[in-house]
């Protein structure tokens, strides 16, 4: 049964994926309503952009305090609609947002401050250059369900602090976390037109893309990302695309097997494996392969599964049955092609409709779907390698490039390998945690997306660089304007030599030949 059903009165009905109990319903915004939301945002934005950065930061400070005070209430909403354990709602959602707020409070003023641009060319020395980050206007944000609070919150707060208004379309499976964000920001003093949440499903998302927004930040699957990129291209709408991943974990021969196996189990099963940064492929040096597998199996057996509201639970359900069927298909395909099933491997209907047992597969190959497609479920597929070069080649043999990890007791060796892996982030001796480092840019290469969120690069995505140039001698005509002639030709030739020739004599001769240009009298 689907967790969501469109009803006659155009409502989306949200169900708890662990129990199928109704969480609530939210309206499906029509094209006209989305258009109206964008227009209201557009009308409110110029005043917000003109407000001082300290006025904008004051809203953020109030928001931070409200979120701290209401953390358990918000965590309950996240868990009710996504199914994840309450502890994860706090650690991977609310904590991430609070850290991002702190980053913005500490760094937004300096990153967004206009920057002087010095000129090297002597002909341009009498100009004053200034680089100003201009807010786009209205940023459209489209979000997935797997991190229903942290993803839209960090993107929204970054857009707002840069002087933009936001129209946010959350996933139809998890709209209430975004509505909580909107409520908290309203309580923190934000003009309600500056953040509008338009609930709805895929068509509402495509209407937002076509609505006249000035930039889009889309987070979701590669398939939808491609559709979104096509419609954005039709009107040259700038986009950030945060898409899927198939993150490799490389465990070198000198790694601590106990630590690395704990990381693999947490990295593959956290949020029931439904994290863009999940460990989706694990490569282990052959000398520690069996020991590593045994440790993973033992640790997997100790995990407790159930509804996320139960504080003893490590793993919640998957979001819906479609996701569960993908996981089943990957496991069946892997086993039929020779993989060994060491743990799990089946759905657990006795717990609820969307539960799948955490699964360890050994001896997988790159011919199997589980090593090529994003699984987005609690599967840890493991294979061995013999050399560092082979491990790097395996890690790079993927259409994705979101993140990766290298495990070793030699940091230098780990960092050297990290440089050779094609991914937006490579962690040495950790997994997933990069998403909780607000200074670190988040985003991928290849099919994993375009652009960055988080950190300095995330802030810079929310403004376009405007260069303002002021001439310090407004009463002086420029030497390179009309009024050319043979002498000017010689002068320019000399000037090029003076600036760029490697030969000192030629440079000096060039300087002498070009001085006449300063005395040109026949400028138009
Ligand atoms: P999805 O692509 O199905 O949906 C994402 C959002 O797009 C939803 O709000 C949906 O309603 C909307 N949408 C659907 N069709 C649309 C269309 N034609 N035009 C505009 N919007 C449309 O993805 P999902 O299942 O919600 O999320 C899971 C995916 O998201 C996984 O692939 C995961 O890796 C990825 N993800 C990536 C990151 C990242 O930062 N790179 C983070 C989280 C999730």
Q: Judge if 231 and 267 occupy the same domain.
A: no
For residue 112, report the distance from its CA to the centre of ligand 1, in Å: 29
Q: Confirm whether 5 is domain-assigned.
A: no
For residue 182, report the distance from its CA to the centre of ligand 1, in Å: 20
Res 485: pLDDT: 85
The answer to which of 402-406, 484-488, 502-506 has the lowest mean pLDDT is: 484-488
Residue nearest to atom 26 of ligand 1 (CA): 144
Distance, in Å, from the CA atom of 505 to the CA atom of 510, rounded to the nearest integer, reads 8
Q: Judge if 253 and 215 occupy the same domain.
A: no
Q: Judge if 236 and 308 occupy the same domain.
A: no
Q: Judge if 232 and 256 occupy the same domain.
A: no
Distance, in Å, from the CA atom of 243 to the CA atom of 152, rounded to the nearest integer, reads 14
437, two tokens: 């480092």
Are 289 and 57 in contact by the 8 Å Cβ rule? The answer is no
Q: Confirm whether 13 is domain-assigned.
A: no
Burial letters 315-329, b for 16+ CB under 10 A, else e: bbbbbbbebbebbbe
The answer to which of 31-40, 118-127, 456-465 has the lowest mean pLDDT is: 118-127
Ligand 1 atom at shortest distance from the alpha carbon of 169: 9
- For the beta carbon of residue 481, count every other beta carbon within 10 angstroms: 10
Given phi > 0 = left and psi -120 to 50 = alpha, else beta, which region is 272?
left
Contacting residues for 387 by C-beta, under 8 A, at least 6 apart: none
Ligand 1 cavity residues, CB under 6 Å: 142-147, 151, 169, 171-172, 201-202, 205-206, 209, 219-221, 224, 227-228, 242-245, 276, 374, 376, 402, 449
How many structural domains is the chain composed of? 3
Q: pLDDT tens-digit profile of 210-232?
A: 999 999 999 999 999 999 999 99
Residue nearest to atom 30 of ligand 1 (CA): 220
Collect contacts of 7-16 with beta carbons under 8 A, ≥24 apart: 12/172, 12/175, 12/199, 12/200, 12/201, 14/81, 14/173, 14/174, 14/175, 14/176, 16/80, 16/81, 16/83, 16/307
Query: Which residue among 83, 84, 144 is best mutated to probe the pocket of ligand 1, counting the most ligand atoms within 8 A of its Cβ?
Result: 144
Q: Judge if 370 and 314 occupy the same domain.
A: yes
Q: Judge if 342 and 392 occupy the same domain.
A: yes
CATH of the domain at 356: 3.40.309.10
Q: Confirm whether 448 is domain-assigned.
A: no
Q: Which residues constitute the domain of residue 302?
A: 247-436
Q: Confirm whether 275 is domain-assigned.
A: yes
Q: Judge if 251 and 239 occupy the same domain.
A: no
Distance, in Å, from the CA atom of 488 to the CA atom of 69, rounded to the nearest integer, reads 71
Q: Confirm whether 501 is domain-assigned.
A: yes
Q: Judge if 264 and 178 occupy the same domain.
A: no
Q: Judge if 211 and 327 occupy the same domain.
A: no
For residue 144, report the distance from its CA to the centre of ligand 1, in Å: 4
Q: Judge if 227 and 264 occupy the same domain.
A: no
Q: Confirm whether 24 is domain-assigned.
A: no
Q: pLDDT tens-digit profile of 499-523?
A: 999 999 999 999 999 887 777 767 7
Q: pLDDT tens-digit profile of 78-96?
A: 999 999 999 999 999 999 9
Q: Judge if 87 and 201 occupy the same domain.
A: yes
**pLDDT exceeds 80 at position 322:** yes
| Average pLDDT along the chain | 96
Q: Judge if 370 and 462 occupy the same domain.
A: no
Q: pLDDT tens-digit profile of 10-32?
A: 999 999 999 999 999 999 999 99
Q: Confirm whether 445 is domain-assigned.
A: no
Got the DSSP string for 317-339? --S-HHHHHHHHHHHHHHHHTT-
CATH of the domain at 195: 3.40.605.10
Q: Confirm whether 1 is domain-assigned.
A: no
* Active-site position among 180, 207, 242, 374: 242
Ligand 1 atom at shortest distance from the alpha carbon of 453: 40
* Active-site position among 172, 276, 374, 460: 276
């Amino acid at each position: 049964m689907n967790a969501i059903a469109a009803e006659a009165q155009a409502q989306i009905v949200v169900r708890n994926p662990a129990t199928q109990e109704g969480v609530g319903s939210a309206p499906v915004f029509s094209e006209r309503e989305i258009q109206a939301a964008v227009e209201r945002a557009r009308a409110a934005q110029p005043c917000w952009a003109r407000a001082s950065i300290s006025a904008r930061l004051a809203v953020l400070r109030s928001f931070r305090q409200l979120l701290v005070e209401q953390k358990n209430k918000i965590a309950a909403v996240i868990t009710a609609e996504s199914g994840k354990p309450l502890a994860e709602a706090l650690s991977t959602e609310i904590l991430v947002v609070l850290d991002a707020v702190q980053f913005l409070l500490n760094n937004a003023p300096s990153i967004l401050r206009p920057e002087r641009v010095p000129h090297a060319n002597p002909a341009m020395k009498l100009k004053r250059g200034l680089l100003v980050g201009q807010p786009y206007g209205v940023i459209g944000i489209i979000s997935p369900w797997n991190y229903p609070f942290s993803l839209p919150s960090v993107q929204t707060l970054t857009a707002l602090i840069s002087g933009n208004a936001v129209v946010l379309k959350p996933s139809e499976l998890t709209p209430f976390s975004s509505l909580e964000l909107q409520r908290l920001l309203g309580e923190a003093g934000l003009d309600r037109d500056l953040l509008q949440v338009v609930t709805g499903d895929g068509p509402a998302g495509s209407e937002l893309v076509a609505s006249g927004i000035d930039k889009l930040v889309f987070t979701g699957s590669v398939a939808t990302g491609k559709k979104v990129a096509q419609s954005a291209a039709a009107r040259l709408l700038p986009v950030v695309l945060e898409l899927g991943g198939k993150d490799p974990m490389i465990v070198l021969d000198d790694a601590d097997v106990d630590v690395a196996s704990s990381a693999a189990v947490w990295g593959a099963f956290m949020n029931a494996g439904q994290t863009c940064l999940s460990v989706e492929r694990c490569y282990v040096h052959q000398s520690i392969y069996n020991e590593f597998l045994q440790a993973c199996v033992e640790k997997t057996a100790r995990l407790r599964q159930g509804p996320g509201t139960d504080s003893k639970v490590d793993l919640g359900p998957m979001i819906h049955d479609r996701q569960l069927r993908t996981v089943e298909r990957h496991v069946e395909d892997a086993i039929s092609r020779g993989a060994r099933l060491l743990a799990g491997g089946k759905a657990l209907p006795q717990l609820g409709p969307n539960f799948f047992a955490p699964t360890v597969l050994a001896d997988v190959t790159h011919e199997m779907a589980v090593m090529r497609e994003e699984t987005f479920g609690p599967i840890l597929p493991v294979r061995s390698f013999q050399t560092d070069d082979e491990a790097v080649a395996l890690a790079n043999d993927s259409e994705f490039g979101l993140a990766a990890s290298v495990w070793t007791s030699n940091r230098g060796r780990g960092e050297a390998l990290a440089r050779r892996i094609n991914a937006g982030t490579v962690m040495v001796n950790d997994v997933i945690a990069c998403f909780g480092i607000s200074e670190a840019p988040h985003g991928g290469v290849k099919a994993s997306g375009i652009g960055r969120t988080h950190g300095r690069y995330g802030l810079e995505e929310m403004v376009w660089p405007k260069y303002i140039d002021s001439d310090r001698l407004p009463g002086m005509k420029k030497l390179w304007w009309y009024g050319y002639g043979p002498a000017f030709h010689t002068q320019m030739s000399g000037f090029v030599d003076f600036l760029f020739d490697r030969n000192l004599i030629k440079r000096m001769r060039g300087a002498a030949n070009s001085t006449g240009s300063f005395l040109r009298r026949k400028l138009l």
